[in-house]
């Protein structure tokens, strides 16, 4: 049975739609779901977009895009060449609140967010899905992807990704996209730099 889904015509058009929500970080935390995109929130649209452009940089082709999930998930990564799909679930690590929030290491906050999603529904909920952690803003200290990957508990999710804002430089928004997977020795990290006109981006593999 085929279900109706929604997708953007292109990742470039998607970025233009996301511009006001990226500039308004509060909307990423508290904005209401978009009915016209299957109930996804701005933070889920942004995180899915970041995963797609990071992975597209590997193949040097715009193969990956994302769809709404008619079964209630947080979006589906879709390979337009092979028609493979990867349903996603998302969790937010919000901006720190006050001195106490800043004192908690980002590694601990990421791991707690992952554990919270795993405990939500166990294998039936998580099996075969991609878990995406969005860091709306980090604390004063950077986090180490390899360290977090080594501490991941046993999970039913197929993979875990972390996408987080690193800086705003001369009007450009800079994000890191990380897969918490050590099979190649280091957790791969891509840096996505969104141009200040929100009509172009550059991707660099950091490790």
Residue 157 burial (CB < 10 Å; 0-12/13-18/19+)? buried
pLDDT in tens, 151-192: 998 899 999 999 999 999 999 999 999 999 999 899 999 999
The radius of gyration of the chain's CA atoms, rounded to the nearest angstrom, is 16
- For residue 147, the model assigns a pLDDT of 95
3-state SS, 86-125, equals: EEEEEEEECCCCHHHHHHCCHHHHHHHHHHHHHHHHHHHH
- For tokens 């390899």, the residue is 146
Backbone angles phi, psi at 203, to 5 degrees: -125, 135
- For residue 100, the model assigns a pLDDT of 46
172 strand-pairing partners:
169
> Under 8 Å CB-to-CB from 4, ≥6 apart: which residues?
70
pLDDT in tens, 111-127: 999 999 999 877 788 99
pLDDT at 63 over 80: yes
Q: How many CB atoms lie within 10 A of CB 42?
A: 22
Q: How far apart are CA 114 and CA 90, in angstroms?
A: 9
- For residue 140, the model assigns a pLDDT of 53
Confidence at 25, pLDDT banded by 50, 70, 90: confident
Compute the average pLDDT of residues 48-65: 95
Sign of CA dihedral 158, 32, 198, 172: negative
Q: How far apart are CA 204 and CA 26, in angstroms?
A: 27
């Amino acid at each position: 049975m085929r279900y109706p889904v929604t997708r953007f015509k292109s990742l470039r058009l998607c970025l233009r739609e996301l511009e006001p929500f990226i500039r308004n970080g509060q909307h990423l935390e508290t904005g209401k779901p978009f009915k016209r995109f299957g109930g996804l929130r701005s933070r889920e649209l942004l995180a899915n977009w970041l995963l797609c452009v990071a992975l597209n940089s590997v193949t040097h082709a715009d193969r990956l895009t994302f769809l709404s999930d008619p079964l209630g998930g947080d979006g589906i990564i879709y390979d337009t060449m092979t028609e493979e799909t990867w349903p996603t679930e998302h969790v937010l690590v919000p901006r720190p609140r006050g001195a106490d929030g800043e004192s908690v290491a980002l590694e601990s906050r990421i791991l707690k967010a992952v554990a919270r999603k795993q405990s939500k529904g166990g294998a039936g909920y998580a099996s075969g899905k991609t878990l995406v952690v969005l860091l709306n803003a980090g604390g004063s200290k950077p986090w180490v992807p390899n360290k977090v990957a080594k501490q991941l508990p046993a999970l039913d999710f197929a993979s875990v990704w972390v996408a987080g804002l690193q800086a705003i430089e001369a009007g450009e928004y800079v994000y890191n996209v990380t897969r918490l997977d050590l099979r190649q020795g280091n957790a791969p990290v891509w840096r996505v730099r969104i141009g200040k006109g929100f009509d172009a981006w550059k991707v660099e593999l950091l490790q």
